[in-house]
Amino acid sequence: MDVREKLQVLADAAKYDASCASGGSDAKRAGKGLGSTQGMGICHSFTPDGRCVSLLKILLTNYCIFDCQYCVNRVSSDVRRARFTAEEVVWLTLEFYRRNYIEGLFLSSGIIQTPDYTMEQIVEVGRRLREEEGFRGYIHFKTIPGCDERLVAAAGRLADRLSVNIELPTPADLSQLAPEKKTSEITGAMEQIHDGVEEAKTERKVSRHAVPFAPAGQSTQMIVGATETPDRDILATASELYQRHQLRRVYYSAYSPIPHADERLPSIRPPLVREHRLYQADWLTRFYGFTVDELTTAEQPNLSLEIDPKLAWALRNRECFPVDVNRATKEMLLRVPGFGAKNVAKILASRRHRRLRVQDLKRLRVAWGRAKAFVVAADHTPAKLLDDKLLPQRVKPVQQLLLFEAADSAATGEL
């Protein structure tokens, strides 16, 4: 099999890994060489100014000694196999970069022989790129749980970001579908990366010449919909990972049915909108002051597929509204449907100079159609809008759901 054929197999096999992103790295690497991490990004991602940026996203190999039931590359799967050498990955990265196809590398791998052996191959790719070829562009390595700590340390010094996949939301899920993997090994690797990042920050304060360690931090990915674990438990796991390991991102990947799947796995994929709702809830817990217990309840452990989590919370807690945009705290304004964090910052700055009216809010680009029932302005009082039984239908955005319905239909061949 030549390199072109290997690339077809291993680039396709890498598409299931969502936990790659390059934001947050501004490391300055010593010496002259190719590439830069500044302003660079990921395959099929866009910068704030609208530029599409790209990344070579491949597996070192899709051979694997494990038999994780949800994985298309599991050892018992009848898929076409391939394996790159370190030299081939380095050559591809440089050739693609010189042709302006990519701006960095994301490298993951199935596990071959042992975790140590696999991680050694990944580290060797990084060493050749950084030390022999002078490549200064973005590199993201997937860390293999259970490998020697020295290999993780070496990878952190070479890569801009490391990630360790948590795989499934709970230890019980992992034990059911991937008994060869251990949650303790996964979180142990995350802890080591976190410690390495913090130590590098401390050393950086002492000397600006200190060697960076995964300056863009770490991320993880969990598969949702492969088990019956509700959104409440999924978000609780994500929150714990953010707090304990200071992850930059938790990526949620809707389970995709695979050929010859285990009978314990669902035969159809979960709705794509569920994945979207989890991202919305994740954002609310990280930047809007919500807790998992507010967004879900014991009686309703799953997020609504019909309306977004913030609106669902507001409708369950109508007694907290309306809020006065000219007096309310930042914390309460962040909970208003239709108000984003940037909207709230502008509202707080603007109301120092004048009492805000509806037209002012519209100029600040709030989603007024969704917010008007929940706020009071200088010239607006929502009267009995909060008591309207049809309020959920009046403030629910329709376009977004139609988009997801179309995507689901396309995925199932119904269009």
Residues 234 and 291 in one domain: no
Residue 387 pLDDT grade (very low, low, confident, very high; cuts 50, 70, 90): low
Please list the helix, strand and coil fractions of the chain in percent, rounded to the nearest 5, in that order: 45, 10, 45
Query: 40-54, 202-216, 336-350: which range is least confident on average?
Result: 40-54
Residues 153 and 292 in one domain: no
Nearest-angstrom CA–CA distance, 136 and 30: 9
Note down the domain range covering 87: 3-265
pLDDT at 235 over 70: yes
CA 354 to chain centre: 39
| Rg for the chain, CA atoms, rounded | 24
Residues 257 and 283 in one domain: no
Residues 61 and 157 in one domain: yes
Residues 61 and 153 in one domain: yes
pLDDT at 104 over 90: no
Residues 360 and 412 in one domain: yes
Residues 261 and 398 in one domain: no
pLDDT at 61 over 60: yes
Query: 249-253, 331-335, 390-394: which range is least confident on average?
Result: 390-394
Residues 14 and 64 in one domain: yes
Residues 8 and 143 in one domain: yes
Q: What is the mean pLDDT of residues 278-294?
A: 96
Q: What is the mean pLDDT of residues 108-119?
A: 95
pLDDT of residue 218: 93
Strands 249-254 and 375-376: unpaired
pLDDT at 68 over 70: yes
Query: 32-36, 90-94, 177-181, 374-378: which range is least confident on average?
Result: 32-36
Could you give the number of structural domains in the chain? 2
User: Counting every residue, how long is the chain?
Assistant: 415
Residue 244 pLDDT grade (very low, low, confident, very high; cuts 50, 70, 90): very high
**Cβ atoms of residues 105 and 5 within 8 Å:** no
pLDDT at 350 over 60: yes
52's tokens: 């599409």
Residues 246 and 119 in one domain: yes
What mean pLDDT, rounded, does the chain reach? 86
Write out pLDDT tens, residues 8-50.
888 888 877 765 544 444 445 555 554 444 333 335 443 334 4
3-state SS track over 231-253: HHHHHHHHHHHHHHHCCCEEEEE
Write out pLDDT tens, residues 300-316.
999 999 999 999 999 99
Read off the CATH number of the domain in which 55 is found.
3.20.20.70
Q: What is the mean pLDDT of residues 159-182?
A: 93
The last residue of one of the domains, among 247, 265, 283, is 265
Q: Which pTM was predicted? A: 0.85
The last residue of one of the domains, among 235, 265, 295, is 265
Residues 77 and 24 in one domain: yes
Residues 287 and 142 in one domain: no
Angle at 59 between CA 170 and CA 262, to 5 degrees: 45
Nearest-angstrom CA–CA distance, 389 and 387: 6
Write out pLDDT tens, residues 146-165.
999 999 999 999 999 999 99
The last residue of one of the domains, among 203, 232, 265, is 265
